[in-house]
């Protein structure tokens, strides 16, 4: 075959290689468990909307932020996680398995211990739960496994090297960790042990009419992520970007519907997420995952004020390239 002429074949292939993958974090709704007809329809709807990647989220549970008694729990156990991975792959989606630690009335970033014995106990329990997920992810053929999500006060601990090595023994795909915003991402000391640099990002954006403020805040996060990933010569993923479809959600994009009652504003959600995806694409981010989608195909809708993008204007963004 003749050599390609400069500017013809080479340019389209290079452009294709830079196409950003877009997807969601998909949460199992108890009303539509993985393996059910409703969940299958939700996965099919997600693929039809244009998504290429999905993060499935098993929840680990611990009774308090300083209580090391973490357990795998009953949320998305082995059989249903397997079915979720299988169904996502069936409709052509790449799969990230992305465990979260659930702490009642708190969040994963609040997990911290005052004694070394509690730290050791927690990491032992966490390793057991993670390996359980990793085995299922390997058996079902998931593409990527996150070893943790937003565990802000744990990520400087030395135990992560051992835990990552253990995950490697079980899971043959790529590994990542989802840091909480660019601040934690800069502090993580084990990116060299992983395959992808990933972070979630929910910076305050300012007033609902101040798009210049939105651009600055989003641009700062995107540039920080790409710079960090380049430093480690790894792909850059936004593991979570999101905002409620609620009035004034730009002031605190991380705020849940339980924390603040507000009228619906699906247009605001679409505008903010469009800006996120445009900035991520222009900034060279490899994959961006929106928070969130539900296994219930009837999730979301115009009157919903939570993060779900299903059946709202923001759903159309999944097909943009």
| The pLDDT value given to residue 75 | 87
Tokens read off for 189: 């000391």
Distance CA 60, CA 111 (A): 12
Put simply, whether the predicted model's pTM sits higher than 0.85 gets the answer yes
Angle at CA 140, nearest 5°, toward 164 and 172?
A: 35
Cβ atoms within 10 Å, residue 87: 23
Tokens read off for 295: 């296994």
| The pLDDT value given to residue 298 | 97
| The pLDDT value given to residue 18 | 64
Q: Selecting from 3.20.20.80, 3.40.50.12280, 3.40.50.1980, 3.40.50.1860, what CATH number does the domain 20-319 have?
A: 3.20.20.80
CB 27 within 8 A of CB 306: no
| The pLDDT value given to residue 17 | 42
Blockwise average pLDDT, block size 10, the chain, 321 residues = 29 48 97 97 98 97 96 92 98 98 93 97 98 98 98 96 98 98 96 98 98 98 98 98 98 95 98 98 98 98 97 96 74
| The pLDDT value given to residue 3 | 32
Strands (E), 181-265: 196-201, 236-241
DSSP H helical ranges for 238-310: 266-282
């Amino acid at each position: 075959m003749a050599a390609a002429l400069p500017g013809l074949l080479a340019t389209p292939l290079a452009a294709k290689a830079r196409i950003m993958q877009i997807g969601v974090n998909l949460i199992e709704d108890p009303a539509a468990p993985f393996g059910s007809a409703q969940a299958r329809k939700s996965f099919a709807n997600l693929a039809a909307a244009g998504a290429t990647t999905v993060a499935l989220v098993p929840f680990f549970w611990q009774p308090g932020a300083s209580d090391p008694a973490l357990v795998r729990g009953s949320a998305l156990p082995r059989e249903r996680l397997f079915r979720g991975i299988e169904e996502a792959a069936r409709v052509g989606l790449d799969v990230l398995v992305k465990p979260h630690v659930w702490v009642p009335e708190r969040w994963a970033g609040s997990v911290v211990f005052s004694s070394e014995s509690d730290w050791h106990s927690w990491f032992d329990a966490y390793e057991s739960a993670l390996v359980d997920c990793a085995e299922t992810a390997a058996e079902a053929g998931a593409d990527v496994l996150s070893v943790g999500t937003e565990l802000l006060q744990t990520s400087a601990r030395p135990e992560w090297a051992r835990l990552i090595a253990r995950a490697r023994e079980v899971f043959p795909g790529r590994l990542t960790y989802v840091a909480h915003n660019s601040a934690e991402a800069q502090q993580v000391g084990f990116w060299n042990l992983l395959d992808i640099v990933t972070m979630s990002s929910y910076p305050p954006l300012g007033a609902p009419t101040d798009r210049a403020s939105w651009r600055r805040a989003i641009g700062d996060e995107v540039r920080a992520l790409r710079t960090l990933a380049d430093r480690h010569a790894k792909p850059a993923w936004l593991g979570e970007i999101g905002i409620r479809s609620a009035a004034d959600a730009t002031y605190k994009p991380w705020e849940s519907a339980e924390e603040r009652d507000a009228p619906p504003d699906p247009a605001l959600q679409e505008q903010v997420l469009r800006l996120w995806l445009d900035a991520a694409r222009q900034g060279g981010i490899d994959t961006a995952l929106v928070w969130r989608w539900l296994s219930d195909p009837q999730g979301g809708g115009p009157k919903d004020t939570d993060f779900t993008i299903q059946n709202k204007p923001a759903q159309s963004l999944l097909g943009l390239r």
